[in-house]
Amino acid sequence: MKPTHLFLFFLSASLFAQHSFAQHEPLVDRLASSIESEIIELRHWFHQNAELSNREFKTAARIAEELTKLGLEPEIEVAHTGVVAVLEGGLPGPVVALRADIDGLPVNERCNIPWASRMMGTYNGDKVPVMHACGHDTHIAILLGVANVMTEIREQIPGTIKFIFQPAEEGAPAGEEGGAELMVKEGVLKDPDVDAIFGLHIASYIPVGQIAVRSGSIMAAADAFRIDIQGVQTHGSTPWSGVDPIVTAAQMINSMQTIVSRNMELTKAATVLTIGSIHGGIRSNIIPEKLYMLGTLRSLDNDMKELAKTRLREVVEAIAKVNGAEATLEFQGSYPITFNDPALFDQMFPTLEKTAGEENVFIIPSITGAEDFSFFQEQVPGLYFFLGGIAEGTKPEDSAPHHTPDFFVDDSSMLLGIKTMSNLTLDYMKSQHNE
């Protein structure tokens, strides 16, 4: 324990002795501020050592090392490269899980910063540069910061905290399992059984100091699919002697547009259907034998999602039939809706306002992006929010989007993340005690 921590520890002990748990905020503030520079240094290390999904070996080792320094006993190799640590508070109470995703992306960093990533990795067999182009380095550092603060006040915590450092949020490599789905499958929310889970995402389009959130569906379900069309190959000059999978595909793509525009009750929730990839043919004068397309379906309502999937299958089968072709539609993995439990949202919203300031918490429209935090929320009530990452003085329109080479989030964003996650944890535990 560092001298400053020792002092704060005694201060905390006396604070808790004198007051009820309601007064934890000033203590969280001071403890978080005292470790800010340490957390920024850690963030830089993780940024410089970015690794791809399910390959976060150095990252996981460093996380485990930092947790061990705090006196915790991390479990490693959870869902391949995940790290989980449990902190038992000094008082009985509920179990709160806090989640940080830890993977980088195959993006070549262009930011002119001394701690830019020069890492390389292998993605689908290719050598690629690796960068924390989604800001998961800040998520790791924030959660380590929370672990630091919480271990300082361990004796006063009325409950248990499970720190979940999750690999492969961006998706496991082809043919591999991973991410939150695999963690859930391996029982990460059991023993001790988690009562509620909190997670955040840094945002390069929100100013530092702000929080963006909503009740209910905050991010979409994502269903990836593949359509294979089988035709009959022939010379390009005599299409009547074959079955053209390209014309069939063109009709399918056009008909699919009516699923969203004609079948979805759009005033209820958004749905998006995108074909992002189409592969077929080789020469101008050959009608090919087959073709395949890849697409994604995004929905913010489960009933609408099921209807869109049914209609997609009907369109694919019917259009294939009228063209004399054969077609298969295969759904290839799905992320559920990232759904903020309305009761938990109502309960915890005051904590967000109290920590960030009422004027800094915004209710946002749903987002058609997806997030595998949703797998945890399918099991237990969860709350997921966005944390501002744009440096003061930078306009939102000048900041690069996530997943791009110029993506950047400011170090000053993390302090509010540490405070918010800490206060959510303590307020949640306190409210369970009062019930």
Cβ atoms < 10 Å from Cβ of 281: 17
Q: Which token pair is 193?
A: 């059984």
**Using the rule CB under 5 A, is 270 a contact of Zn ion?**
no
**Using the rule CB under 5 A, is 50 a contact of Zn ion?**
no
User: What CA–CA distance (Å, rounded) separates 73 from 180?
Assistant: 21
Task: Considering the complex, state which of residue 32 and residue 134 has its C-beta at the smaller distance from Zn ion.
Answer: 134
**Using the rule CB under 5 A, is 370 a contact of Zn ion?**
no
Known catalytic residue at 56: no
Task: Considering the complex, state which of residue 386 and residue 428 has its C-beta at the smaller distance from Zn ion.
Answer: 386
**Using the rule CB under 5 A, is 134 a contact of Zn ion?**
yes
Q: Which token pair is 228?
A: 């294979």
**Using the rule CB under 5 A, is 361 a contact of Zn ion?**
no
DSSP symbol at 300 = S
**Using the rule CB under 5 A, is 229 a contact of Zn ion?**
no
Closest CA to 132 of 76, 32, 181, 202: 202
- AA letter at 297: L
How far apart are CB 59 and Zn ion at their closest, in Å? 14
How far apart are CB 402 and Zn ion at their closest, in Å? 5
User: What CA–CA distance (Å, rounded) separates 372 from 169?
Assistant: 6
b/e map 162-177, b = 16+ CB within 10 Å: bbbbbbbbbbbeeeee
**Using the rule CB under 5 A, is 172 a contact of Zn ion?**
no
How far apart are CB 27 and Zn ion at their closest, in Å? 30
Q: Which residue of the set 51, 56, 66, 103 is catalytic?
A: 103
Whether cis (ω within 30° of 0) applies to the bond prior to 342 is no
Known catalytic residue at 103: yes
User: What CA–CA distance (Å, rounded) separates 137 from 237?
Assistant: 56
Q: Which residue of the set 169, 301, 372, 427 is catalytic?
A: 169
Task: Considering the complex, state which of residue 134 and residue 390 has its C-beta at the smaller distance from Zn ion.
Answer: 134
**Using the rule CB under 5 A, is 142 a contact of Zn ion?**
no
State the number of binding residues for Zn ion (CB under 5 A): 1
Cβ atoms of 380 and 195 within 8 Å: the answer is yes
Which range of residues in 47-55, 131-139, 160-168, 270-278 is near Zn ion by CB under 5 A? 131-139
Task: Considering the complex, state which of residue 144 and residue 315 has its C-beta at the smaller distance from Zn ion.
Answer: 144
Task: Considering the complex, state which of residue 134 and residue 315 has its C-beta at the smaller distance from Zn ion.
Answer: 134
Residue 26 to residues 210, 335, 340, 400, 421: CA-CA distances in angstroms? 19, 38, 27, 35, 14
Cα maximum dimension of the chain: 90
3 state DSSP class of 323: coil
**Using the rule CB under 5 A, is 161 a contact of Zn ion?**
no
Which range of residues in 36-44, 134-142, 305-313, 381-389 is near Zn ion by CB under 5 A? 134-142
Site of interaction with Zn ion (CB under 5 A)? 134
Question: Looking at the annotation, which residues are catalytic?
Answer: 103, 169
